[in-house]
Chains A and B, each alone.
Chain A
Amino acid sequence: MNWEMVIGLETHVELSTKTKIFCGCTTRFGGEPNTQCCHICTGMPGSLPVLNRSVVEYAAKAGLTLGGEVNTRSVMARKHYVYPDLTKAYQISQYDLPLVTGGGMYLANGRRIGLTRIHIEEDPGKLVYAGGEVRIDYNRSGIPLIEIVTEPDFRSKDEVLEYMERLQTALRAIGVSDCRMQEGSMRCDVNISLRRPGESAYGTRSETKNLNSFTAVAAAIEYEYDRQAEILDGGGTVTQETRAFDADTGETSASRGKEDADDYRYFPEPDIITVILPCDDIERLRGTLPEMPEDKLRRYTAELGVSEADARLLTKYRAVSEYFEKAVENVTPKLAAGFITTTMFSDVTTEAQREHWNPAVTAEHLNGLLRLLDENKINRATARRVYRQMDETGGPATAFLSDEDMGGVDGDALIEMCRAAISSNAKSVADYRAGKEKALKAIVGAVMRESKGRADAQAAEKTILRLIGGEK
């Protein structure tokens, strides 16, 4: 039997504020275990949380970007559960009054994925399994998170993956998170259920928690679809439960502790006053939002005439698009885009390198080079050679251009021009072949006009003669 899958996603994203959500400890990734914590983020007796204003603003920016409504008044709440990485036996989160409600995102197929809410909360510490021991690293404890909850609007695995990719791009573009799944700064819980196509009621769902890569999300969805379909095909019923994904086997399994049905005993956090974000602040934040990658993509293709493939590459990371926009000034956009995505990207191949785009050739220097190329003052080969030298030394293009390079049009460019002149002056060619020496001057004259006088007339004449097979 064919089943339709219905998926809702909860995505946890670590915010890249400098300090943690309730204390002044750094959020830097990768420090020695338990060197970036204090009495507050380790939940020592008597410690009190002080809400980091930047966290509220970062989360609000995410909300605005994703089309949600940022609430001027929201409330922090305690969510209780017992786990050794959770220092206070409760996580400070939000419950019935989250910072952002609503929002949504359009997919390429035109379908809209609705967002239920975005709330802010603290990340717990991390269990480290090593040598048969479990140790706890509290460096992560208190890192600010937003949880982005969607409606059950996905109908396929591909929609989920596309949403995740677009979410990553959008949050990176506004600078609120690096969304690195491999470092745990973006993690997903997948709620999935099946129903017969055309049915309006939802089936019973399972929730697979803590998926930390696109591959894991895809595999978990596939596995859960097959598992649930098999149960339903056999006339059975799916149990509503929390499941864990094993990256080694690609399978999910029911999490332990089913007998204790989740009861988080939420209540308003008495140590944190109501979170107030005045309308003026919300508008100020809206004003700081950069152009969204989707809008940028549209602008690059429609207004600048950049190919869609190049535009996608350029808009994927903010650092790259910012570089492009500086380098493209007074240069044909297509030329600039092509140079970056071919010549430059051939050296910078990993996603991480592109994310942290920081080439030795500054955008200003590249712009200088591209202008010369665009104005035909140098040819492509020269441009590539000079780029290599600039890349090695960090110097400007002019430092590596000889008078000869600059002297005019030569090499490939000259050949091109001569070819063009030959094909558009067929009569002169025929006349020359018929013995009219003067006819050659007309062809050379065409090249000189085309090159605005920068071509070497003698070189042009030689080239033309070689191309039309005549020797003088």
Chain B
Amino acid sequence: MLKSPDLPSRVKMTSITEIRALLDARKISAVELAKIYLDAVKRENPALSAYITVTEDAALDAARRADERIGAGESVPPLCGMPFVLKDNISTAGIRTTCGSKMLENYVPFYDAAVWEALRGQDAVMLGKGNMDEFAMGSTNETSYFGGAKNPRDLARVAGGSSGGVAAAVAGGLASFGIGSDTGGSIRQPASFCGVVGLKPTYGAVSRHGLIAYASSLDQIGPIAVSVKDLAAVFDAISARDKRDMTSRGAEQVSDSLTGDIRGMKIGLAREFYEGLPTDIAKALESAAKTYEKLGAELVDVSFPALRHALPAYYILACAEASSNLGRYDGLRYGRRAEGGGTLDETIRRTRSEGFGREVRRRILLGTYVLSAGYYDAYYNRAQLLRRGITNEFERMFSELDVLLTPTAPVTALPFGADLSPVETYQTDICTVPVNIAGAPAVSIPCGFDSDGLPIGAQLIGAKRGEKTILSAALAFENETGGAFIKAPTSGVKL
């Protein structure tokens, strides 16, 4: 094994850029790299629960293929040989895909998701499948059947949700990047809790083919990484129009045109997002705004009155779609079937009662209710009207703005068992859900620490298909602060 004296003795979260340089200079092989990461995963994952399934053999196979490509001297794609974690709601043929649920504990898909195809095509090295809230329903990872992922900054705290396992793996140095999904904040909020960066792309930028649906009109796949440039590189690798997803439109490539120059950029501060924020978070955001001003951006005070409609609209629409999407889990063809026999109806009922956790059952019931005859107009239809209103307000704001700066969440990583009521938990999604409702892109970047030393996230929201703009703004901040808010984790890979 190569042991170059040039290598730092302890690389915490190693960026794609750094690893690319090491691989291309042949200072380390992809197989060696994969083994180092796999060892770290074996060592650290029992404490972190970032991975549900570790795919050692597949990882080493991919690494060997990557080494062949690198060895052949060809110009390899940016993610060739790069170790990563894939959220466990993204279908991988032959590799179990649990969705964090008892229902799919042993479900092995027979086809591949589009993003998995794209990454495998580059010979990126999947180390395993990332932990998540059951069916992506949750904000703390505590609804995972496999036990919630822990926050590498503080193991007594949650990694966030629902892509908590992915964020924890990246923040804990157990993957160089990760792929999550975001329905109401599920990429951005755990990225914020764990002190890494996460991008929720414009709806339709990344194919959902093979993504196990929670709420189809809101779900979007996106990357979690340790730097903005990495985020852009992964986004470029996975964004593409896909004929297999009628809602996909693809996106233009962003990596090469990120300048980090934001002079003259108009950054909006909508007061509604700042109401009742804890002091630490308010201060961190204020400081971030000042940094932007210093960098030459123009700060604009704006108003987003529709924010108060976002949560009710979101939970009605998301639960309605979830109740429909999850109807198929009856244990007849795949997944877990309740034992004990009985009639078909009894078996299906027991299968669903036993296979789904509380939160999933709650949302199915809520969604079934709002779609029922006699309630449809009062709930679903009104939520659709609110959705239109929120989308229109977004468009209005972005006719005058380039970026909207908000906190990613009104809280930092919660302790396990914080025992919030469901509604209190839902309220922590207030800053992220409007973005999904509007189908817009947003990135979460670390911008400070609270008094407990926990990361605080800032969210940069853009107009639809405005990934380049928000990533440029994120890069400017990262460059200016020198990554000061990306703190070394307590665990991780030693290269």
Provide the A60-89 mask, 1 if CB < 8 A to any CB of B, else 0. 000000000000000000101010100111
Q: With A and B bound together, what is the CA distance between A46 and B214 in angstroms?
A: 10
CB pair A44 B111 closer than 8 Å: yes
**Nearest Cβ distance between residue B319 and chain A, in whole angstroms?**
12
CB distance from B202 to the nearest CB of A (A): 15
Contact with A along B357-380 (1 / 0, CB 8 A): 000000000001001110010001
Residues A45 and B111 in contact in the complex (CB < 8 Å), given A51-B246, A272-B246: no
Please tell me the size bucket of the interface on A: 20 to 34
Given A50-B243, A265-B371, CB of A84 within 8 Å of CB of B324: no
Chain B residues with Cβ under 8 A from A263's Cβ?
372-373
In the complex where A267-B320, A267-B380 touch, is A45 in contact with B212 (Cβ < 8 A)?
yes
Q: Closest Cβ of chain A: how far from B112's Cβ, in Å?
A: 10
Query: Which of B91, B243, B245, B371 is close to A45, meaning CB atoms less than 8 Å apart?
Result: B91
Q: Contact flags (1/0) for B85-110 with A, using CB distance below 8 Å?
A: 00001110000010100001001011
**Contact between B109 and A270 (Cβ–Cβ < 8 Å)?**
no
Q: Which residue in A39, A43, A271 is a CB contact (below 8 Å) of B216?
A: A271
Bitwise, B108-136 to A at CB < 8 A (1) or not (0) is: 01110100000000000000000000000
Assembled-state Cα–Cα distance A88/B104 (Å): 15
Annotate B316-341 by CB proximity to A: 1 below 8 A, 0 otherwise.
00001101100110101110000000
Residue in A closest to B89 when the chains form the complex, CB atoms:
A46
Contact B247 A271 (CB under 8 A): yes
Q: What residues of A have a CB within 8 angstroms of the CB of B376 in the complex?
A: 265, 267
Is A270 within 8 A of B209, CB to CB?
Answer: no
Check A45/B328 contact, CB under 8 A, given A84-B344, A267-B320, A267-B380. yes
Contact B104 A265 (CB under 8 A): no
Interface status of A223 (Cβ within 8 A of chain B): no
Chain B: minimal CB distance from A267 (Å): 6
Task: Say yes or no: B107 contacts A45, CB within 8 Å.
Answer: yes
A214 CB–B CB distance under 8 Å: no
Q: Does B244 contact A (CB under 8 A)?
A: yes
The DSSP consensus for interface residues of chain A is: loop
A432 at the interface (CB under 8 A from B): no
Q: How far is the CB of B334 from chain A (nearest CB, A)?
A: 7
CA–CA, A263 and B320, complex, Å = 14
- Residue numbers in B under 8 Å from A38 (CB-CB): 111
Tell me, yes or no, whether A279 is within 8 Å of chain B by CB. no
* Contact between chains at A46 and B113 (CB < 8 Å): yes
Which A132-191 residues have a C-beta within 8 angstroms of B? 136
A38-56, CB < 8 A from B: 38-39, 42-51
**In the complex the two chains form, what is the Cα distance from A42 to B380 in whole Å?**
28
Docked complex: A1-53 residues within 8 A CB-CB of B: 38-39, 42-51
**B211 touches A (CB below 8 Å):** yes
- Interface contact A44-B109, CB-CB below 8 Å: yes
Max count, chain B CB within 10 A of own CB: residue among A48, A80, A90, A273 = A48
Q: A89-B327, A267-B380, A272-B246 are in contact. Are A46 and B320 (CB under 8 A)?
A: no
CB of B104 to closest CB in A, whole Å: 7
Residues of the B chain whose Cβ atoms lie less than 8 Å from the Cβ of A272 = 246
Q: Whole-angstrom distance between the alpha carbons of A38 and B247 in the complex?
A: 20
A265–B246 touching, CB < 8 Å: no
Name A80's contact: one of B97, B244, B324 (CB within 8 Å).
B324
Q: Say whether B368 contacts A265, CB under 8 Å.
A: yes
Give per-residue flags for B266-297: 1 if the beta carbon is below 8 A from chain A beta carbons, else 0: 00000000000000000000000000000000
Judge if B208 is at the interface, Cβ distance under 8 Å.
yes
Query: In the complex the two chains form, is B107's CB within 8 Å of A265's CB?
Result: no
* Inter-subunit contact B99/A45 (CB<8 Å): yes
Contact A87 B246, beta carbon cutoff 8 Å: no
Task: Judge whether B53 is part of the interface by a CB distance below 8 angstroms.
Answer: no
Q: Are B244 and A50 in contact (CB under 8 A)?
A: yes
CA distance A266 to B372 in the complex (A): 9
Contacts of A270 in B (CB 8 A): 215-217, 247, 321
Q: Do the beta carbons of A265 and B111 come within 8 Å of each other?
A: no
Inter-chain contact A84/B246, CB cutoff 8 Å: no
For the complex, would chain B's binding face be called helix, strand, loop or mixed by DSSP majority? loop
B residues near A39, Cβ cutoff 8 Å: 109-111
The answer, among B107, B208, B320, for a CB contact under 8 Å with A48, is: B208
- Contacts A50-B243, A271-B246 given; does A44 touch B334 at CB 8 Å: yes
Task: Tell me whether A273 and B246 are in contact (CB under 8 A).
Answer: yes
Q: In chain B between 195 and 217, which residues have their CB closer than 8 angstroms to a CB of chain A?
A: 208-213, 215-217
- Given contacts A46-B91, A46-B213, A265-B368, is CB(A90)–CB(B245) below 8 Å? no
Complex Cα distance, B344 from A89, in Å, reads: 14
Q: Are B213 and A90 touching (Cβ within 8 A)?
A: no
Determine which of B246, B320, B328 lies in contact with A89 in the assembled complex, contact meaning CB atoms within 8 Å.
B328
Alpha-carbon distance A471/B344, docked complex (angstroms): 93
Q: Please tell me which one of the listed residues A44, A87, A265, A273 contacts residue B247 in the complex, with CB atoms under 8 A apart.
A: A273
Is B300 positioned at the interface, with any CB of A under 8 Å from its CB? no
Could you tell me the distance between the alpha carbons of A271 and B344 in the complex, rounded to whole angstroms? 29
| B348 CB–A CB distance under 8 Å | yes
Q: Are A42 and B333 in contact (CB under 8 A)?
A: yes
When distances are taken between beta carbons in the complex, the residues of chain B under 8 Å from A51 are 246
Bound-state CA distance A74–B343 (Å) is 39
Q: Please tell me if the beta carbons of B109 and A45 are within 8 angstroms of each other in the complex.
A: yes
Q: Which residues of A contact B344 (CB under 8 A)?
A: 84
- Contact, CB under 8 Å: A46 / B372: no
> Closest CB of chain A to B89's CB: distance in Å?
8
CA–CA, A266 and B373, complex, Å: 9
Q: Judging by beta carbons under 8 Å apart, are A84 and B91 in contact?
A: no
Look across to chain B and name the residue whose beta carbon is closest to the beta carbon of A51: B246
Interface members, chain A 81-131 (any B CB < 8 Å): 82, 84, 87-90
| Given A44-B111, A265-B368, A265-B371: A90 and B246 interface contact (C-beta under 8 Å) | no
Docked complex Cα distance between A49 and B247 (Å) = 10
Partner among A46, A78, A89 whose Cβ is within 8 Å of the Cβ of B209: A46
Name the distance in Å between A75's Cβ and chain B's nearest Cβ: 12
Contacts of B213 in A (CB 8 A): 45-46, 271
Contacting pair A48 B110 (CB below 8 A): no
CB distance from B10 to the nearest CB of A (A): 38
The smallest C-beta distance from B476 to any residue of chain A, in angstroms, reads: 35
Q: Are A46 and B109 in contact, with the CB atoms below 8 A?
A: yes
Q: Contact check: which of B91, B111, B208, B328 meets A43 at CB < 8 Å?
A: B328
**List of A residues within 8 angstroms of B209 by Cβ:** 46-48
Interface residues in B400-439 by Cβ distance below 8 A to A read none
Known: A270-B321, A271-B247. A82 touches B372 (CB 8 A): no
Residues of chain B within 8 A of A266, CB atoms compared: 371
Closest Cβ–Cβ distance, residue A239 to chain B (whole Å):
19
Q: Specify the chain A residue showing the minimal Cβ separation from B348.
A: A82
Complex contacts, B348 vs chain A, CB 8 Å: 82
Shortest B296–chain A CB gap in Å is 40
Q: How far is the CB of A80 from chain B (nearest CB, A)?
A: 6
A82 cross-chain contacts in B, Cβ below 8 A = 327, 330, 348
Contacts of B380 in A (CB 8 A): 267
Minimum CB distance partner of A88 in chain B: B328
Which residues of A lie under 8 Å from residue B332 when comparing CB positions?
A: 84, 136
Q: Name the distance in Å between A273's Cβ and chain B's nearest Cβ.
A: 5
Residues of chain A lying within 8 A (CB to CB) of residue B99: 45
**CB <8 Å contact, A265 and B212:** no
Shortest Cβ gap from B8 to chain A (Å): 40
Of chain B, the residue at the smallest CB distance from A49 is: B246
Which parts of B243-271 form the interface with A (CB within 8 Å)?
A: 243-247
- A46's partner among B210, B215, B323 (CB-CB below 8 A) is B210
Closest 6 CB pairs of A and B: A89-B327, A270-B217, A265-B371, A270-B216, A45-B212, A46-B210
**6 extra A-B contacts, CB within 8 A, seeds A50-B244, A82-B348, A267-B380:** A45-B104, A46-B212, A89-B328, A90-B324, A136-B332, A271-B216
26 contacts between A and B (CB under 8 A): A38-B111, A39-B111, A43-B328, A44-B109, A45-B212, A45-B328, A46-B97, A46-B109, A46-B209, A47-B209, A48-B209, A50-B243, A78-B324, A80-B327, A80-B371, A84-B330, A84-B332, A84-B344, A90-B327, A265-B371, A267-B324, A267-B380, A270-B217, A270-B247, A270-B321, A273-B246
